[in-house]
Amino acid sequence: MKVTVVGAGNVGATCADVLAYREIANEIVLLDIKEGFAEGKALDIWQKAPINVYDSKTVGVTNDYSRTAGSEVVVITSGLPRKPGMTRDDLISTNASIVQSVTENVVKYSPNAIIIVVSNPLDVMTYCAHLASKLPRNKVIGMAGILDTARYRAFLADEIGCSPKEIQGMLLGGHGDTMVPLPRYTTVGGIPVTELVAKDKLDAIIERTKNGGGELVKLMGTSAWYAPGSAAAQMVEAIVKDQKRILPVCIKLEGEYGINDCYLGVPAVLGKNGIEKVIELKLNSEEMELLQTSRKHVKEVMNVLDNMAAKA
């Protein structure tokens, strides 16, 4: 089982590390454009194997896509992270050209791979990878919802004073301030969250979740990597082990939720074919309105990408 991670920076190296120490793949190729960088990170991950007790092998390469040939899954993390004061959308012009060229190289050597996009702005970079790869929608998937729900669940665990393992939550929409956490679909040990957390506290947690990425950028001067890298690895695991997990992922909607041709986060079944089924929740009018606001925002940024492509 061969998995490639493009971008050996904070998120990419974390993802490769999780794939290795949890033995999700037995061969992991880590690729970066920076000479020697991926080789160094891969060697460090391999030298951790006797300590953490695993035998999955990580190999680092500098921009040599022939070494990625035959990968079953490819995770794209290459691109700039934002700095304090920036929005994710500010990254579009730099990251679109990186994601486009990386995707073209990936599919040249791994035409059957399932691609997981992590680079920001997430929903639009997933669209970009879809355009560059020409793969069907089930094989080009964005990672954001697992991270956003994990933040939501972690904040709820703190508030309730329980294990985060007990919290199940769902979230829709774009990866940005317009994301739509769904308290109606949140349970704690099977109990509706609204029975355990007062409305004002829940509203504050939802607001904190929406700004979760920005909170970390402000604290660290760059964006998060432990939870994002682990979230991408969880998607890889669901695919390579054909787990049929129901996870929030970014996909091109083709009529679901009454939305067409827009990349948005929705719950879906993830298995060996990538996205095997999109799950349509019965939203109430308030939730639908929030989802439409998110769609409008993502669509505007998708149009920016289309205009950039038209001018190129």
Ligand X SMILES: O=C(O)C[C@H](O)C(=O)O
Annotated binding site for NAD(+): 7-12, 32, 95, 118-120
Collapsing DSSP to helix, strand or coil, 25 comes out as coil
Q: Which one of 115, 217, 251, 259 is in contact with ligand X (CB under 6 A)? A: 217
Total residues contacting ligand X by CB under 6 A comes to: 14
Binding residues for substrate: 82, 88, 120, 151
Among residues 42, 132, 147, 249, the one that binds ligand NAD under rule CB under 6 A: 147
Q: Look at the chain and count its residues.
A: 312
Binds ligand X (CB under 6 A): choice among 95, 223, 230, 234: 223
Rounded-to-integer distance, Cα 113 and Cα 239, Å: 11
153 binding ligand X? (CB under 6 A): no
Instruction: Mark whether 175 is an active-site residue.
Output: yes
Q: Does 120 bind ligand X (CB under 6 A)?
A: yes
Assess 173 for contact with ligand X (CB under 6 A).
Answer: no
In the bound complex, which residue of the shown chain has the CB atom lying closest to ligand X? 213
Active site residue: 130, 139, 153, 175, which one? Answer: 175
Is residue 79 within the footprint of ligand NAD (CB under 6 A)?
Answer: yes
Instruction: Tell me the C-alpha distance between 93 and 90, whole Å.
Output: 8
Per-residue interface string for the shown chain with ligand NAD, residues 109-128, x marking contact by CB under 6 A: ---------xxx-x------
Q: Which stretch binds ligand NAD (CB under 6 A): 18-26, 48-56, 72-80, 289-297?
A: 72-80
Check the CA dihedral 212-213-216-217 and report its sign.
Answer: negative
Angle in degrees, 0-180, between the axes of helices 285-311 and 122-133, rounded to the nearest 10: 50
Chain-centroid distance of CA 226 in Å reads 12
Cβ contacts of 161 within 8 Å, gap of 6 or more: none
Whether 57 contacts 98, CB under 8 Å: no
CB of 166 to ligand X, least distance (A): 23
Distance CA 268, CA 244 (A): 9
* Max CA pair span of the chain: 55
4 binds ligand NAD (CB under 6 A): no
The residue behind tokens 């998120």 is: 11
Question: Binding site residues, as ranges?
Answer: 7-12, 32, 82, 88, 95, 118-120, 151
* Rounded CA Rg of the chain: 19
CB of 45 to ligand NAD, least distance (A): 15
Beta carbon of residue 216, minimum distance to ligand NAD (angstroms, whole number) = 9
Label residue 304 exposed, middle or buried (CB < 10 Å: 0-12, 13-18, 19+): middle
Question: What residue has token string 């971008």?
Answer: 7
Asked if 224 touches ligand X (CB under 6 A), the answer is yes
Task: Point out the residue whose Cβ comes nearest to ligand NAD.
Answer: 9
Helix and strand counts by DSSP (H, E) for the chain: 10, 14
Beta-bridge partners for 260 = 254
C-beta of 215: minimal distance to ligand NAD in Å?
13
Which listed residue (3, 6, 74, 247) binds ligand NAD by CB under 6 A?
Answer: 6
Cα 140 to Cα 177, 207, 263, distances in angstroms: 23, 29, 10
- Per CB under 6 A, 175 contacts ligand NAD: yes
Catalytic residues: 175
**Binding region for ligand X (CB under 6 A):** 81-82, 88, 120, 147, 175, 212-214, 216-217, 223-224, 228
**Binding region for ligand NAD (CB under 6 A):** 6-12, 32-34, 37, 77-82, 91, 95, 98, 101-102, 118-120, 122, 143-144, 147, 175, 222-225, 228
